Structure 1
Amino acid sequence: MDTQRQLSTRALISGALLGALLTPCNVYAGLKIGWSFNVSIVALLITSGLWAVFARLRLSAPLAIGEGNITQTTASSAANIISGGLVAPIPALAMLSGDNLPAGELIAWVFAVSFLGIWVAWYLRAGLIVRTPLPFPTGRATAETLQEMFRHGHETRLRLRILLGSGALAAAIKWLDSGRWPLPRPGLGFELPASGALAGAPAISAKNLTLSLDPSLMLAGFGAIIGVRAGLSLLLGALIAWALLGPLGLYGGFILPGANDPTASWFATMIEWLLWPGVALLVAATLTRLVIQLRAVHNARTKDASEDDGAIRMRRFGLALASALVVLAQTLLFDIHWLLALLTVPIAFVLAMVAARVVGETGIPPIGAIGKVSQLSSGITAPGDQTANLIGANVAGGAAGQSADLLNDFKAGHAVGTAPGHQVIAQCLGVAVGSLVGSLVYLQLIPDPATMLITEQWPAPAVATWKVVAETLDQGLAALPPSALTALLVATGCGITLTLLESRYGPHRVPSAAALGLAMVIPASLSLTLCLGSLVGHALARYRPRLAERFLLATAAGLIAGESLSGVGRALLGVLG
């Protein structure tokens, strides 16, 4: 294959522009529900459709398959920049310190962390893709989509129209909902009598407990993607947290009520207690899953016979440069001792290797678990230092996230014959674009993290998890009230038990512990809509499987991207206005 038809200028520019467009979607979604979506297939749909139009108008040559892969590599690495800490450790540190990092420092830090992940991935490529090929489901799906697009142009154009149409619909509805014509948010229609600590107060309404339906097409789209098991688990978790534990806490006096208004949400006050069992369930489940998967991890050999000595030297030089950059950034930006900063690099490499193996086998990046393991290790090496704890864990989580993304790209590239060096160049460009755009969007959306995050508007569950772990390692469990400590211990046991049962009997027989935990740290209204979307997607896949295979992903991705971009635009106008 002609190298120019892979690493072309138009492929890089297309990927950078799409990355700049889609990065705000993941920043927005990450701050809303703690999840992001892989934009590889969305980028392929958009870029192949646009260049096909240009080709029919005789304005350019048709896009080659190698160029399509370079485009999606650039775009996905940009949109994946949130793994560099923008929706988890960085906001958590800002909440504890009271201030965001300045724009220049934030951009430099996010780039340094993600840049390290690129070179770690190149080191792992030979062992996980060439010599001992793992499935890498996301990368394989991208490769299959790429090959199908260049075989069936009409189908691609049809999917692109579906994506753009659903995106426009979601964007319009979000714009109206966040402006002068907010959509109704119907509650579940019940009230609980006030008694105990609330004796004499009005009845507790469903809306007080956030038990209402959020009219969000983005959430419905996410629900269709995550599947019915996760959707039903979110529903179960929401009912346990907000319909059972919440009222029990209100009656018992260890959860505080909010404003005395049946239409008001009490999320801000109730989450102060509910986040403890929720976070404990999340952390216990993810760490248990990681321990189970560690048994399958083996050291990947890094010698690739297909690479020449020049490529090997470049790989080594890049890893050394990235390591030095991330150590220097820690010492200069956060005043972390150079020895502690240096220790984060081998920890990040080992944990990124673990994450890569897990992603290769399951397609699910365990970034949350990787961050918690690194937080625990930082708690040992730098006890009582919340900054070192969060930033050290950020290095591991960011490097693992970016390396997992590039390994999926490597899997797709290996299938279609794209040179790995070309993909590394595309990834570096994507990281640079994502660091710039993502950091600026985050700073504009969340100028005051201490008051804006872990609220009903911005639940930021990942931020809550990182913040709680850092505070617990700093203050110890003894600082918790007895009721919260009891709930934390029970939730930890439940997370471990559910994960062990899932490992033994399979995921379809056991609720998702991660989804149960997530439902406890976001408003119940979000979980209800996510569940509804998962049920719609499941019904379509069951009764119209061919239709779902062709259009479900494109429709869901359009809903996510359209509402996210509209929400970001409306929020930025509110901040700037």
Structure 2
Amino acid sequence: VPGGSGKCKSIVEGLGLDAAVDPRDPELAKKLADACPKGIDVYFENVGGKVFDAVFPLLNQFGRVPVCGVIAHYNDVTPPPGPDRTGMILGGVLSICNVYVGLKIGWGLNMSITGILLAFGIWFTISRVSGGRVRMLNRLENNINQSSVSAGGAISSAGLVSAIPAVTILEGTVFPWWQLVLWLSTVCFVGIAIAMGLRRQMIINDKLPFPGGIACAETLKEIYNTGAEALARVKVLVIAAVVASTIKVLAIAKLISTTSLGIKVAGVPASNYLLAFDPTLMMMAVGGLVGLRACISLIGGAIAAYVVIAPWLVSSGRAALDKAAAAAHNASLPPEQHITPFAEWILWPGVTLMVVASLVSFSFSMPSILRSFRRTSGTESRADEGEVTRPWFFFSLALALVLCVILQTWLFGISWWAAVFAVLLSFALAVVAARVSGETNVTPVGPMGKVTQLLFAVMLPKNASANLLGASITSGAASQCADLMHDLKCGYLLGAVARKQVIGQLAGAIAGALVGSWFYLILIKDPKTMLLTPEWPAPAVAMWKAVAEVFQRGLESLPPGAETAMLIAAAIGVVLPILEKTIPKKAALYVPSCSAVGLAFVISGTNSISMFIGACVGALVTKFAPNWSTRFWVTLCAGIIAGESLTGAVDAVRLVMTGGK
């Protein structure tokens, strides 16, 4: 970094150096970052001031800084706590968001970019308040923080919003906090161990894109090159969270409430068929992230479910309007003539549509599946400095196998051979999920779990616990494996140490298990009565429970007439994904999304309306303010979701402490 443009030119042209940056250039930080894409290992400091400020965020871990004549206070700067600790705290907190959202809509949200922005904003503020004596996280430290946050946020997909509640509903098994923490941490460790051995093959040799990792790398480069952009995003995130939290508080205080649509369905208010307007913002934000195409399918599914099918079921006597009406009808009739509330009846075709469509769509990933189990020809790359060595990889894999088998047999009474089979199958399916995620940016967590459920249905047809918990290993391992692969891709582009990312991922997963399990047990005291209701639809629980229930009890467990509806849904679930994959891309945009239509049958129509409104707002913003949308829309939605879900979490804790008052 010589002084003056003339010196820069002479050094590059005369001495043949790759680059020289003028410290007087107003874009010093950006040009320095562009010249050092993998960070800075050694910096000789004798300038201080803005040059030091530009260099420091780019310093790699353990970078060396010989100091000569530096401004005094720079020598007194205190480094922040390890990025894994920052990530553990944020990952634990954001795990609450995904448990809350997962029990509402059955999906989990990737928390990587949210974690990056929060960590940047927190340590920027601390650094400013301390007068610069506590420094910010640098770019690579924030990358490790991102790994921890995403791992903690993904804890819900290890079974906390699917298999665990389903087992409790079907078997009556109640899992204490310590068991959940042990189980979820071990399931996550299985996926993390697998990812250790895939990095070199998939990222370095095969050069799979892992688009989520690229997006995080670009975000990190952008916010550390131009701090103003990062601060603008953090402000949007915080303001959105505060607004959503305020509206949620008003709803909790009953100052605002769900509002009638002012229309009737089959002669009764639409609210009787779960159709109303919810003024809170979280579901609108989810719709804004999902997009207009999926939400058009969602609102279409809601109309079919709650305006067409549900009134017909009630009028024909095949289902009741609610639980009270069902109980009154069933009181004097034999069990074979009992009916269920319409919400329980329409769940079955909805679940069938989602399960069949996801498996058919996944079958189109067969080329990726085959590539997962063969080595590519060509030159094998050498191991990076800091890469997890093969001995550590095999040790971790063996440890994951042993721990997972022991916990299955000890905690859940599953046969040792079935436990071993579940883990080995999860090893293979996690590799498949990582490959598919690397090529498409979509991690097939649901289909992976369904494959395991189907195989366990053949091996142990009457054992619901083995069916559900074995499948939770597959889905949890697939989720953590793919998540870490995206993080490793980000780190590879930035020049991070892979070993430290793995440690950060494991730390975040443990934090997510600790906090997420605690929150789940506080929020859902009785899964049998609280879940599969309009307030907590828990679509993932409904899907996993339905599959296990059919294999355990047979078709006689279904409500009258549901078999025919399931067959029709299954046929649609086969035809539409095939149509979507085989017709031209432009025409495929008009094919309804089976996952969205099926989801509309499981969640309330009120939630579908909110998501559709959010998607419409997102489409309008994208059309009329494309630049603003690119910069801030995802951040805005993430802030709303975090604000409302965390406020809901605080209220759940309040209710426990005050005895429900």
Q: TM-score, normalised by structure 1?
A: 0.94
- Give yes or no for the alignment of 1:3 onto 2:61: yes
Q: Is the 8 A contact 2:139 2:220 kept in 1?
A: yes
Displacement after TM superposition at 1:260 (Å): 8.5
Displacement after TM superposition at 1:291 (Å): 1.0
- Give yes or no for the alignment of 1:214 onto 2:214: no
Q: Is the 8 A contact 1:98 1:449 kept in 2?
A: no
SS in 2 for 1:101: coil
- Give yes or no for the alignment of 1:534 onto 2:615: yes
- Give yes or no for the alignment of 1:149 onto 2:223: yes
Kindly, what percent of the aligned residue pairs are identical? 39
Q: Which residue identity lines up with residue 513 of structure 1 in the other structure?
A: C
Q: Which residue identity lines up with residue 61 of structure 2 in the other structure?
A: T
The correspondence of residues 410-425 of structure 1 with structure 2, limited to 5 A, is 410-425=488-503
Aligned length: 561
- Give yes or no for the alignment of 1:49 onto 2:126: no
> Aligned residue for 1:351?
429
CA displacement, residues 219-244 of structure 1 (integer Å, 9 cap, x when unaligned): 11111111111111110111111111
Pick aligned residue for 1:170 from 241, 244, 262: 244
CA distance 1:55–1:572, shift in 2 (3 Å): closer
Displacement after TM superposition at 1:138 (Å): 1.4
Distance 1:338 1:162 in 2: 51
> Aligned residue for 2:368?
296
> Aligned residue for 1:62?
136
Q: Which residue identity lines up with residue 319 of structure 1 in the other structure?
A: L
Distance 1:411 1:456 in 2: 40
Distance 1:173 1:135 in 2: 40
The answer to which of 58-67 and 538-547 deviates more is 58-67
The answer to which of 119-128 and 410-419 deviates more is 119-128
> Aligned residue for 1:279?
351
Q: Is the 8 A contact 1:124 1:300 kept in 2?
A: no
> Aligned residue for 2:297?
233
CA displacement, residues 79-132 of structure 1 (integer Å, 9 cap, x when unaligned): 111111100000000111224201111110111111111011112222221111
The correspondence of residues 480-491 of structure 1 with structure 2, limited to 5 A, is 480-491=558-569
SS in 2 for 1:4: strand
Q: Which residue identity lines up with residue 564 of structure 2 in the other structure?
A: T
Pick aligned residue for 1:255 from 277, 302, 319: 319
CA distance 1:421–1:567, shift in 2 (3 Å): same
Q: Is the 8 A contact 1:170 1:563 kept in 2?
A: yes
Distance 2:120 2:638 in 1: 16
Displacement after TM superposition at 1:5 (Å): 6.5
SS in 2 for 1:224: helix
Displacement after TM superposition at 1:478 (Å): 4.4
Q: Is the 8 A contact 2:80 2:136 kept in 1?
A: no
The answer to which of 173-182 and 523-532 deviates more is 173-182
Q: Is the 8 A contact 1:100 1:443 kept in 2?
A: no
Q: Is the 8 A contact 2:200 2:383 kept in 1?
A: no
Displacement after TM superposition at 1:35 (Å): 1.3
Distance 2:272 2:511 in 1: 41
Displacement after TM superposition at 1:304 (Å): 5.5
Distance 2:388 2:264 in 1: 69
CA distance 1:184–1:412, shift in 2 (3 Å): same
Q: Which residue identity lines up with residue 139 of structure 1 in the other structure?
A: G
- Tell which structure's C-alpha radius of gyration is larger: 2
CA distance 1:22–1:460, shift in 2 (3 Å): same
Displacement after TM superposition at 1:55 (Å): 3.1
> Aligned residue for 1:265?
none
Q: Which residue identity lines up with residue 252 of structure 1 in the other structure?
A: S
> Aligned residue for 2:401?
323
Distance 1:9 1:573 in 2: 31
The correspondence of residues 97-116 of structure 1 with structure 2, limited to 5 A, is 97-116=171-190
The answer to which of 237-246 and 57-66 deviates more is 57-66
> Aligned residue for 2:112?
40
> Aligned residue for 2:158?
84
> Aligned residue for 1:74?
148
> Aligned residue for 2:604?
523
CA displacement, residues 154-175 of structure 1 (integer Å, 9 cap, x when unaligned): 0110110111001001011111
Q: Is the 8 A contact 1:237 1:519 kept in 2?
A: yes
Q: Which residue identity lines up with residue 142 of structure 2 in the other structure?
A: G
SS in 2 for 1:58: coil
SS in 1 for 2:461: coil
Distance 2:281 2:155 in 1: 24
- Give yes or no for the alignment of 1:559 onto 2:637: no
> Aligned residue for 1:264?
none
Q: Which residue identity lines up with residue 138 of structure 1 in the other structure?
A: G
Q: Which residue identity lines up with residue 270 of structure 2 in the other structure?
A: A
> Aligned residue for 1:198?
none
Pick aligned residue for 1:31 from 103, 113, 118: 103
Displacement after TM superposition at 1:470 (Å): 0.2
> Aligned residue for 2:451?
373
CA displacement, residues 350-375 of structure 1 (integer Å, 9 cap, x when unaligned): 11112112211221221111111110
SS in 2 for 1:36: coil
Distance 1:368 1:216 in 2: 28
CA displacement, residues 188-210 of structure 1 (integer Å, 9 cap, x when unaligned): 51242xxxxxxxxxx32200111
Distance 2:559 2:603 in 1: 22
CA displacement, residues 402-452 of structure 1 (integer Å, 9 cap, x when unaligned): 111111111111111111111110011011101100101001111111111
Distance 2:539 2:433 in 1: 21
Displacement after TM superposition at 1:300 (Å): 5.4
Q: Which residue identity lines up with residue 151 of structure 1 in the other structure?
A: N
Distance 2:446 2:424 in 1: 18
- Give yes or no for the alignment of 1:503 onto 2:561: no
- Give yes or no for the alignment of 1:124 onto 2:198: yes
Displacement after TM superposition at 1:9 (Å): 4.0
Q: Which residue identity lines up with residue 244 of structure 2 in the other structure?
A: A
Displacement after TM superposition at 1:187 (Å): 2.0
Q: Is the 8 A contact 1:100 1:448 kept in 2?
A: no
CA distance 1:84–1:300, shift in 2 (3 Å): farther
Distance 1:448 1:188 in 2: 34
Displacement after TM superposition at 1:8 (Å): 7.8
Q: Is the 8 A contact 2:345 2:559 kept in 1?
A: no
Q: Is the 8 A contact 1:12 1:74 kept in 2?
A: yes
Q: Is the 8 A contact 1:91 1:463 kept in 2?
A: yes
Gaps of 5+ in 2: 1-40, 42-59, 65-78, 326-339
Gaps of 5+ in 1: 193-202, 262-267
Q: Is the 8 A contact 1:5 1:64 kept in 2?
A: no
Q: Which residue identity lines up with residue 542 of structure 1 in the other structure?
A: K
- Give yes or no for the alignment of 1:550 onto 2:631: yes
Q: Which residue identity lines up with residue 91 of structure 2 in the other structure?
A: G
Distance 1:188 1:231 in 2: 22
Q: TM-score, normalised by structure 2?
A: 0.82
> Aligned residue for 2:332?
none
Distance 2:219 2:120 in 1: 11
> Aligned residue for 1:197?
none
Q: Is the 8 A contact 1:20 1:79 kept in 2?
A: yes
Q: Which has the higher contact order (CA 8 A, sep 6+)?
A: 1
- Give yes or no for the alignment of 1:19 onto 2:97: no
Distance 1:573 1:479 in 2: 39
Distance 2:63 2:518 in 1: 33
Q: Which residue identity lines up with residue 132 of structure 1 in the other structure?
A: D
